[in-house]
Amino acid sequence: MVASGALVFLILLTLGETSVLTVRGQTATPQPAPSAPKLAGREMTNTSGWDRNGSRSVNRPMCKQRTEITGTFKYINTFVSCLVFVVGIIGNSTLLRIIYKNKYMRNGPNILIASLALGDLLHIVIDIPITVYKLHAEDWPFGVEICKLMPFMQKASVGITVLSLCALSIDRYRAVASWSRIQGIRVPMWTVIEIILIWVVSIILAVPETIAFDLVNVDYRGKKFNVCLLHPVQKSQFMQFYKIAKDWWLFAFYFCMPLACTALFYSLMTCEMLRKKSGMQIALNDHLKQRREVAKTVFCLVLVFALCWLPLHLSRILMKIFYDEYDPNRCELLSFLLVMNYIGINMASLNSCINPIALYFVSKRFKNCFQSCLCCWFQRKTMMHVLPLDEKQSCIKWKSNGIDHGLDHSNSRSSNKYSSS
């Protein structure tokens, strides 16, 4: 129960509800925590410490009601993280393989989707195992370098997702606005430049996380813990401002911007389609159906992103607006915010593995490719143990043809000609 109590303790620390003992050799006088919250059956009876802005706080009033969080979240979060890890690696790896192996899938929108999948895959492989280990361990064992790498990778991954969704929305508008422009099966140079810019900008925007996070030594019920979290005291003015405005910045750029971008360009796309509807040629009907399907797929990805990240951003914004650390009744709100924060963390983790699933159900083309890939994999595993050599080679040949021609058969007449849109 110590680990689960320490887990809630870390979240309370970020809210300014507990005290910091030392910060990598910088000693601060141990101060009591404020409100005697009951953490997984344990009590804390202290009354002052650091506030959320990194300044020394005055004594806070005791809570009239204890904050109580059980250790159930530890096991729920572990299960969700393991599920995301397995499904995310299989789904995103399969998605990347499909786009890489199948020449008909190598077009502008799909390359942006591949960039998004690669960002999710990096987050899954690097962050999730460390997060699960940290959840069960009482102490941070990985050192300062990994402490700074973790939030950097998280923000870079989310940045890649956000900017890729914006680029996909813009790409769909451009495809409709220039509906008579037909290209071959290739990746436009502008898309390559977009992807490079997306990764560079995402990495740059994640750098403040590397600066802000550090190892902090905290004292919990007489035991000292090394904790990786946002440094309670930032040295530069920019980092002080970043610490205060971080939640608003994350909400505005990493959540509102892709939604606003999608709403804007999809509205423009609808107006453009209505304006040109009377002049569209019948010969382009198959081509336009494909573009509508891609637009529907992009909209679904944005919707999934919004649903996965809304609870976490909402809990942080509610804390910023309504939480008052000097209110004796704050513990009731704190309990609600902690539960909402837990739900938000798990929902946000799901976003790293859910995009391939969404593509399977929304896009006929991706669905056929996924089915061909999984079917061939299963048959090849079976035939490698049962079938003779000539039949194995036949299956491998079928796989090569099946993936290339197992796309949307309803659009097969125009797949070669219009696949870049």
Instruction: Give the residue carrying structure tokens 């699933």.
Output: 357
pLDDT tens string 106-136: 888 889 999 999 999 988 988 888 888 877 7
Is residue 103 within 8 A of residue 404, CB to CB? The reply is yes
Residue 60, phi-psi category: left (phi > 0), alpha (psi -120 to 50), beta (remainder): beta
DSSP state for residue 254 in the 8-state scheme:
I
Q: Would residue 9 count as lying in a domain? A: no
Q: Would residue 235 count as lying in a domain? A: yes
SS3 for 153-186, per residue?
HHHHHHHHHHHHHHHHHHHHHHHHHCCCCCCCCC
Residues 155 and 302 in one domain: yes
pLDDT tens string 152-174: 999 999 999 999 999 999 988 88
pLDDT tens string 257-314: 999 999 999 988 888 777 765 555 544 566 666 777 778 888 899 999 999 999 999 9
Residues 390 and 310 in one domain: no
Residues 306 and 162 in one domain: yes
CA distances from 164 to 157, 177, 186, 253 (A): 11, 20, 19, 13
- Note the residue count of the chain: 421
CA distances from 103 to 85, 193, 403, 421 (A): 28, 20, 10, 14
3-state secondary structure of 38: strand
Residues 255 and 354 in one domain: yes
**CA–CA dist 79, 171 (Å, integer):** 37
Q: Residue 366 pLDDT > 80, yes or no?
A: yes
Residues 357 and 379 in one domain: no
Q: What is the pLDDT of residue 403?
A: 40
SS3 for 354-406, per residue?
HHHHHHHHHCHHHHHHHHHHHHHHHHHHHHHHHCCHHHHHHHHHHHHHHHHHC
**CA–CA dist 137, 228 (Å, integer):** 12
**CA–CA dist 147, 58 (Å, integer):** 30
Q: Residue 34 pLDDT > 70, yes or no?
A: no
Of 46, 42, 36, the residue nearest 71 (C-alpha) = 42
**CA–CA dist 234, 54 (Å, integer):** 7
Is residue 338 within 8 A of residue 69, CB to CB? The reply is yes
Q: Where are the beta strands (DSSP E) in 198-306?
A: 213-220, 223-230
pLDDT tens string 318-360: 888 887 777 666 777 777 888 788 788 888 889 999 999 988 8
Residues 188 and 303 in one domain: yes
Q: What is the pLDDT of residue 319?
A: 86
b/e per residue, 56-70, with b = 16+ CB within 10 A? ebeebeebeebbebe
Task: Specify which of 54-58, 211-215, 385-389 reaches the highest per-range mean pLDDT.
Answer: 211-215
Residues 323 and 401 in one domain: no
The CATH code of the domain that includes 108 is 1.20.1070.10
Q: What is the pLDDT of residue 38?
A: 35
Q: Residue 21 pLDDT > 50, yes or no?
A: no
Of 87, 105, 108, the residue nearest 96 (C-alpha) = 105
Q: Would residue 319 count as lying in a domain? A: yes
Residue 380 pLDDT grade (very low, low, confident, very high; cuts 50, 70, 90): low
Residues 396 and 352 in one domain: no
**CA–CA dist 115, 187 (Å, integer):** 13
Q: Say what the pTM is.
A: 0.75
Mean pLDDT of 32-60: 42
The number of domains in the chain is 2
Residues 180 and 311 in one domain: yes
Residues 410 and 337 in one domain: no
b/e per residue, 213-244, with b = 16+ CB within 10 A? bbbbbbbbeeeebbbbbbbbbbeeeebbebbe
Give the strands of the sheet with 68-69, arranged side by side: 42-43, 38-39, 68-69
What is the CA angle 132-353-396, rounded to 5?
120
Q: Which two tokens stand for residue 101?
A: 């192996």
Is residue 54 within 8 A of residue 26, CB to CB? The reply is no
Q: What is the pLDDT of residue 187?
A: 67
| Residue 90 lies in domain | 74-361
**What sign has the CA pseudo-torsion 316, 318, 319, 321?**
positive
Q: Would residue 128 count as lying in a domain? A: yes
Residues 340 and 410 in one domain: no
**CA–CA dist 52, 230 (Å, integer):** 10
Is residue 189 within 8 A of residue 201, CB to CB? The reply is no
pLDDT tens string 219-267: 777 788 888 888 888 888 999 999 989 999 999 999 999 999 999 999 8
Question: Which amino acid would we find at residue 348?
Answer: A
Residues 128 and 227 in one domain: yes
Q: Would residue 201 count as lying in a domain? A: yes
What is the share, in percent, of the chain residues with pLDDT greater than 70? 66
Q: Would residue 65 count as lying in a domain? A: no
Q: Would residue 56 count as lying in a domain? A: no
Q: Would residue 44 count as lying in a domain? A: no
Q: What is the pLDDT of residue 284?
A: 53
